[in-house]
Amino acid sequence: MYRVLKFGGSSVASATNVSRVLDIVEAEAKKGCVILVSSAISGCTDALLSGDEAQFREMERRHADMVRRLFTGPQRIALQERMKALFGQMRQAPADEKVTFGEIFSTTILAEKLETEGYRTIWLDSRDLVVKGDEATTYKRIKSAVKATQADIFVAPGFICQDGDGKISTLGRGGSDYSAALYAAAVQAESLQIWTDVPGIMTANPKQVPAARTVPRMSYGAALDMASHGAKVLYAPTVAPAMSAGIDIEIRNTFAPDGKYTVIGNCPDASRWIGVASEKGNIRLVGAQMPDVTGDDAVENAGKALAEAGIAAVKMTPDGPSLNIEVREGVLDQALRALHRAFFQELPVQEVNLFIAGNGAVGQALVKMVRESAGAVKERTGKHLRIVGLANSTQYGIDLGGNPVIGKKGDYIRAILEEASKGSIFVDASNSETLYLRYPELLQAGIGIVSSNRRSFAGSYTDFAAVHLAARENGAPLRYETTVGAALPILDSIARGANSCDEVLSIEAVVSCTLNQILSDYRPGGASFAAMVKKAQEAGLTEPDPRLDLGGKDALRKLLILAREAGIPLEEAQVKVQPIVPPELLQGSLGQFYEGLEAYEPQWAQQAMEAEQQGFRRRFVAWLEKKDEGYVAGIGLRNVPPVHPAYHLRGTENAIIVRSAFHPYPLVIQGPGEGAREAASSILNDILR
Ligand code: ASP
Ligand code: MG
């Protein structure tokens, strides 16, 4: 069985390089009969084409140098004589034949060296065997020449041949690859190896695109597409003979023989895009050879990739599975890099494991949202979110593979501490009043915390500060934007002011969605206030116990968080809370509460009517104000005039109005302040920050 090895000009450029070639050939000769096809040494073909005697002399010197280094004694002298004679013949040869001597020079030295190494070596004259444009004859001649003799290694010059009339000719620049494929096809070689100076066919020319990488396998079609559109690593006509003979083409690197390489063969392409090649300002984005695939799908992405690099394509034309792109000459390399980045470079992806606590409306919305948007999030941010822990108030489930099922009793936090890696995120989407006591343990383990549970931040200021300290000491993120106004960027805005030493003079927060909804929908004589509260409770719009909303507890928690975010260590006891209805009504059982509220309807209707007559709207406001003696804070029902930003709130909108020392006008943030989806999106964004 035959193994065809072709070496390019740089592989045989010097004695040192030739010794690498010998190592490779030696290993291959153990596996079968080697047919070694070689180019001229690098620069030689150009030198011969120049017709310039000075360049001839330089080539003669380089070859003599190789001979001197590779041989000794009488052999050296004999070969020096032969080389001298060959250079003489070259000088005598007609101008158009001079170029055919480069491969004769190189293969003469190689054959002689292999003979010296003890291999039975036969030099084949490609000028007799290879007939340009007539593969049938070429194959016949090669086969009989090779079969006629017993040899370990055949050495044949690449590139050179005869034309149909028997006149000496060449196969075109880069044609040695093609010579090798002809030799391989003729003898049905078991291996065809093109040894060059790069690690196979790459996703781009590494000289233009440093991030280019080797394509390990590609189809004949894709290789042909790359080669015919400027990928110099392979001479395009090489593909056809190998393909019809069903022989794989290996493209390997002489200078890293054990490194990466490409196998071209009868295989489907592994990915949609193969590489990007270029020729004279024309870029070719080479697509996989797949039936029914067209390059049309790339137009938009290619345009976007170029636009991001500030380049406008002159023209883009899909061609089969590939895409032709024309750009201005000056931006060619930049364009290649931009396209390569978009189509071939996977950006690093960071895995983020999420342990979620709370399986209510918010928890469930979050799980759904994370699962639905994980792909898009990864694209946008490079973060791959994976839910690995879930829990309700009594049970949990952990699965680092991403499919946790709630069902285990026990200490969820302890289990997380055992399983979670640093950089994981614990999400508190629960309503637990005590879970925050465990936050410091998680933070100490380097686990970040994202919370929508406002109970966690509305306890004593000491507890609040302790959690923050644990986060800071351990460099673990702690975020809870969701706790006030759901997805509205309220806390972030307040923190920004505080961070830049702006001082808060007052905060007015209309942050109870349910009450806003009821206050704006209420009409005296329509559904009673009690009925509306009940309806909201049943729709899940209130806290589980609606008295937390009506009594101002929920607004109080939000106010504490707002104040603390502004750097004011506000405590619950400092806030004057006036429930929306007389406090006596909030006592007893839930049933008693609704009864009492129903009985209170006449007074409620009266108040509402009075406010309306005076041109006011009623809003439940949590407020904080800087006075000479310090901050004072309260919560209560207020009549607001049309000039007040909160006058125009609709439905469950929230508004917060912050006046600060730096600014003559207040910061007003207004928008949807509630809903499981809003909360989930806010949590998601805290996770991604
Ligand atoms: N020596 C020829 C050239 O430089 C053929 C080859 O290297 O493949 O074009
Ligand atoms: Mg070449």
- Express each pLDDT in 113-163 by its tens digit: 999 999 999 999 999 999 999 999 999 999 999 999 999 999 999 999 999
Of 387, 390, 382, 354, whose CA–CA distance to 371 is shortest? 387
**How far apart are alpha carbons 225 and 288 in whole angstroms?**
9
Cα-Cα end-to-end distance for the chain: 62
Distance CA 363, CA 355 (A): 11
Give the confidence band of 295 by pLDDT, cuts at 50, 70, 90. Answer: confident
Q: Give residue 108 CA to ligand 2 midpoint distance, Å.
A: 19
For residue 654, pLDDT beyond 80: yes
Q: Provide the Cα torsion 362, 367, 370, 375; round to 10°.
A: -150
- Ligand 2 center–CA 233 separation, angstroms: 6
10 Å Cβ neighbour count for 188?
13
Q: Which range has the worst mean pLDDT, 66-70, 211-215, 326-330? A: 326-330
CA neighbor of 44 nearest in space, from 83, 77, 76, 74: 83
Q: How far, in Å, from the CA of 6 to the mean position of ligand 1?
A: 11
Ligand number nearest CA of 39 is: 1
Give the mean pLDDT of 228-235: 95
How many A from CA of 346 to the centre of ligand 1? Answer: 35
Ligand 1 atom nearest to 174, measured from its CA: 8
Question: What's the mean pLDDT when you consider all of the chain?
Answer: 95
290 — pLDDT class (breaks 50, 70, 90) = confident
9 Cα: distance to centroid of ligand 2 (angstroms): 7
pLDDT score recorded for residue 192 = 98
pLDDT of residue 270: 87
Closest ligand to C-alpha of residue 42 is 1
CA–CA distance from 611 to each of 501, 517, 639, 640, 656 (Å)? 39, 17, 7, 9, 22
Once rounded to an integer, what is the mean pLDDT over residues 434-451?
A: 97
Which helix (DSSP H) or strand (DSSP E) does residue 409 occupy? strand 408-409
Ligand 1 atom index nearest CA of 9: 7
Q: Which residue has the tokens 């380049």?
A: 311
- How far apart are the CA of 282 and the centre of ligand 1, in A? 24
Stronger pLDDT, 183 or 309, i.e. the higher one: 183
Mutate to test the pocket of ligand 1, among 173, 183, 195, 196 (most ligand atoms within 8 A of CB): 173
**Ligand 1 mean position to 270 CA, how many Å?**
31
Phi, psi dihedral angles at 343 (to 5 degrees): -105, -20
Distance (Å, whole) CA 574 – CA 159:
93
Which residues, 6 or more positions from 624, have their beta carbon under 8 angstroms from its beta carbon? 504, 506, 507, 559, 562, 563, 568, 570, 631, 632, 633
Half-sphere exposure of residue 263: CA atoms within 13 angstroms, side-chain side: 11
Q: Is the dihedral of CA 642, 648, 651, 653 positive or negative?
A: negative
CA 279 – ligand 2 centroid, Å? 16
Token pair recorded at residue 119: 């291999």
Mean pLDDT of 522-531: 93
Confidence of residue 664 (pLDDT cuts 50, 70, 90): confident
Select from 142, 200, 149 the least CA-distant residue to 4: 142
- Please give the average per-residue pLDDT across 259-273, as a whole number: 94
* Ligand 1 interacting residues, C-beta cut-off 6 A: 8-9, 39-40, 45, 102, 158-159, 173-176
CB neighbour list of residue 587: distance below 8 Å, 6 or more residues apart: 593
> Which ligand 1 atom is the nearest neighbour of the CA of 159?
5
What is the structure's pLDDT at 416? 97
Average pLDDT over residues 21-46: 97
Could you give the CA distance from residue 360 to residue 390 in angstroms, rounded to a whole number? 11
Is pLDDT at 245 greater than 80 in this prediction? yes
**Nearest ligand 1 atom, CA 235:** 8
Highest mean pLDDT among 98-107, 277-286, 299-308: 98-107
Pick the atom of ligand 1 nearest to 179's CA: 8
Cα 16 vs. chain centroid, distance in angstroms? Answer: 42
Residue 676 neighbours by CB under 8 Å, 6+ apart: 361, 362, 364, 365
| Per-residue DSSP letter, 628 | T
Atom 6 of ligand 1, nearest CA residue: 174
pLDDT of residue 142: 98
* 67 CA from centroid of ligand 1 (Å): 21
Ligand 1 atom nearest 42 alpha carbon? 4
**Is 624 within 8 Å of 507 (Cβ atoms)?**
yes
With the most atoms of ligand 1 within 8 angstroms of its CB, the residue from 176, 196, 251 to mutate is 176
Residue 63: pLDDT band with limits 50, 70, 90: very high
Side chain identity, residue 134? D
d(CA 658, CA 665): 9
- Dump strand ranges (E) for 211-349: 217-219, 249-253, 262-265, 273-279, 282-287, 315-319, 322-326
CA 175 to ligand 1 center in whole angstroms: 6
Core vs surface per residue 18-36: b (16+ CB within 10 A) or e: bebbbebbeebbeeebbbb
Atom of ligand 1 nearest to the CA of 176: 8
Confidence (pLDDT) at 263: 98
Q: Determine the distance separating the centroid of ligand 1 and the alpha carbon of 16, expressed in angstroms.
A: 20
**Phi then psi for 572, rounded to 5 degrees?**
-55, -40
pLDDT at 497: 85
Sign of CA dihedral 472, 478, 483, 488: positive
Atom of ligand 1 nearest to the CA of 8: 7
What's the pTM value of the predicted model, to 2 decimals? 0.61
Q: Which ligand is nearest to the CA of 13?
A: 1
CA of 316 to the centre of ligand 2 (A): 29
- Residue 131 has what DSSP assignment? B
Our mutation pick for probing the ligand 1 site, out of 12, 45, 104, 234, counting the most ligand atoms within 8 A of Cβ, is 45
Residue nearest to atom 8 of ligand 1 (CA): 174
Q: Is 498 a residue whose pLDDT tops 90?
A: no
Q: Does the CA dihedral 453-456-461-467 come out positive or negative? A: negative
Ligand 1, atom 5: closest residue by C-alpha: 174
**Taking 90 as the threshold, does the pLDDT of residue 470 lie above it?**
yes
**304 membership: H or E segment, kind and range:** helix 298-308
Give the position, in ligand 1's atom list, of the atom nearest the Cα of 46.
4
39, 46, 48, 183, best to mutate for ligand 1 pocket (most atoms within 8 Å of CB): 39
**Mean pLDDT calculated for residue range 597-623:** 95
